[in-house]
Amino acid sequence: MNGQPANPLPDPDEPAADDGEIVPSDAPDQKLMRSNPGFGNYFNRELSLLQFNLRVLQLAQDLTIPLLERLRFLAISSTNLDEFFEIRVSGLKQHVAFDVPLSSADRLSPRQALTHISDACRNLVSEQYRVLNEEILPALDEEGVRVVRRTDWTPEQARWVADYFEEFVLPVLTPVGLDPAHPFPRILNKSLNFIVGLKGKDAFGRSSRAAVVQAPRVVPRLIEFPKEISEKAHEFVLLSSVIHSNVGALFPGMKIQGCYQFRVTRDSDLWVDEEEVDDLLNALRGELLSRRFSGPVRLEVANNCTVEMRDYLLQLFKLKADDLYSVDGPVNLHRLSALYDLVDVPKLKFPLLKSGTPTGLEAGTDIFKAMRRGPLLLHHPFQSFSPVVDLLRSAARDPNVLAIRQTVYRTGNDSPLVAALIEAARAGKEVTAVVELRARFDEAANIDLATQLQEAGAKVVYGIVGYKAHSKMLLIVRREGKRIRRYVHLGTGNYHSGTAKAYTDFGLLTCDEVIGQDVHNLFQQLTGLGKVSNLGKLLQSPFTLHSTVIDLIEAETAAAVAGREARVVAKMNALIEPQVIEALYRASCAGVEIDLVIRGTCCLRPGVPGLSENIKVRSIMGRFLEHSRIFYFYADGQELAYASSADWMPRNFFRRVETAFPIEKKKQRRRVIEEGLIPYLEDNTNAWELQPDGSYVRVQCADKEPRFSAQEHLLNLLGDGSPYYDQIIPLRGED
pLDDT, tens digit, 9 for 90 and up, residues 472-504 = 999 999 999 999 999 999 999 988 888 899 999
pLDDT at 531: 74
Whether residues 180 and 33 fall in one domain: no
Residue 348 lies in a domain: no
Query: Residue 108 falls within a domain, yes or no?
Result: yes
Domain identity same for 159 and 218: yes
Q: Is residue 188 part of a domain?
A: yes
Phi, psi of 213 (to 5 degrees): -120, 120
Residue 283 in this model has a pLDDT that exceeds 80: no
Residue 531 burial (CB count, 10 A): 6
Q: Which of 147-161, 204-218, 246-260, 552-566 has the lowest mean pLDDT?
A: 204-218
Q: Is the model's pLDDT at 526 over the cut of 80?
A: yes
**Count of domains forming the chain:** 4
- Cα separation, 210 vs 396, in Å, equals 60
Mean of pLDDT values over 58-72:
96
pLDDT category at 176 given cuts 50, 70, 90 is confident
612-631 pLDDT per residue, tens: 999 999 999 999 999 999 99
pLDDT at 289 over 80: no
**What does the alpha-carbon distance between residue 437 and residue 439 come to, in Å, rounded to a whole number?**
6
Q: In the listed set 534, 560, 588, which residue is the last one of a domain according to the structure?
A: 534
Q: Give me the DSSP letters along 553-566.
A: HHHHHHHHHTT---
Same domain? 550 vs 594: yes
Task: Give domain status of residue 356, yes or no.
Answer: no
Per-residue pLDDT at 414: 80
Between 102 and 300, the higher pLDDT residue: 300
For the segment 218-241, the average pLDDT, to the nearest whole number, is 96
Residue 734 banded pLDDT, cuts 50, 70, 90 = very low
Query: What is the pLDDT averaged over residues 636-665?
Result: 96
DSSP lists the bridge partners of residue 296 as 266
Residue 659, domain CATH: 3.30.870.10
- 160 and 139 housed in the same domain: no
The percent of residues in the chain predicted with pLDDT above 90, rounded, is 69
Per the annotation, the verdict on 380 as an active-site residue is no
pLDDT in tens, 14-33: 333 233 222 233 333 333 34
If asked whether residues 413 and 508 sit together in one domain, one would say yes
Confidence band of 36 (pLDDT split at 50, 70, 90): low
Q: Residue 386 sits in which domain range? A: 367-534
So what's the pLDDT on residue 282? 56
Residues listed for the chain: 735
Q: Does residue 352 lie in a domain region?
A: no
403 part of a folded domain: yes
What are residue 507's DSSP bridge partners?
A: 378, 491
Residues with Cβ within 8 Å of 620's Cβ and at least 6 positions away in sequence, in order, are: 597, 599, 626, 680, 683, 686, 687, 688, 710, 711
Q: What is the mean pLDDT of the chain?
A: 86
The SS3 assignment for 259 reads strand
Distance CA 454, CA 458 (A): 5
Q: Has residue 552 got a pLDDT over 60?
A: yes
Which of 143, 164, 187 is the C-terminal boundary of a domain?
Answer: 143
Q: Where are the beta strands (DSSP E) in 363-495?
A: 376-380, 401-408, 430-435, 459-461, 468-469, 472-480, 483-491
Return the higher-pLDDT residue of 356 and 103: 356
Write down which residue in 111, 143, 175 finishes a domain.
143
CATH number reported for the structural domain that contains residue 138 in this entry: 1.20.58.310
Catalytic residue among 116, 334, 379, 470: 470
Between 466 and 537, residue with greater pLDDT: 537
Quote the pLDDT of residue 496.
86
419 & 549 share domain: no
Mark whether 21 and 116 lie in a shared domain: yes
- Give the pLDDT band (50/70/90) at residue 65: very high
Shared domain for 41 and 164, answered yes or no, is no
Of 554-568, 595-609, 709-723, minimum mean pLDDT range: 709-723
Alpha helices in 292-385 (DSSP H): 307-316, 339-342, 367-372
Residue 410: per-residue pLDDT: 78
Do 73 and 54 contact (CB within 8 A), yes or no? no
Please give the C-alpha separations between residue 375 and each of 367, 511, 523, 629, in angstroms, as whole numbers.
11, 7, 21, 19
**Collapsed DSSP state (helix, strand, coil) of residue 572:** strand
Tell me: pLDDT of 443 over 80: no
490 and 583 belong to one structural domain: no
Confidence (pLDDT) at 38: 54
- The whole-number average pLDDT for the span 459-463 is 82
What number is the average pLDDT over the span 541-559? 97
- Asked if residue 471 and residue 416 are part of one domain, the reply reads yes
Predicted confidence band of residue 180 (pLDDT cuts 50, 70, 90): low
pLDDT of residue 707: 92
Q: Is residue 688 part of a domain?
A: yes
pTM (two decimals):
0.88
State the Cα–Cα distance between residues 278 and 178, nearest whole angstrom.
42
- Name the band, by pLDDT with cuts 50, 70 and 90, for residue 1: very low
123 and 158 assigned to the same domain: no
Closest CA relative to residue 538, chosen from 675, 368, 664 = 664
Q: Is the domain of 606 the same as that of 658? A: yes
Separation CA 20–CA 35 (nearest Å): 9
Tell me, yes or no, whether 430 lies in a domain.
yes
Q: b/e map of 313-345 (b: 16 or more CB within 10 Å)? A: bbeebebeeebbbbbebbbbbbbbbbbbeebee
pLDDT-derived band at 535, boundaries 50, 70, 90: very high
Output the domain CATH number for residue 317: 3.30.1840.10
Torsion of the alpha carbons at 269, 273, 279 and 283, rounded to the nearest 10: -40
Residue 173 and residue 175: Cα distance in Å, rounded? 6
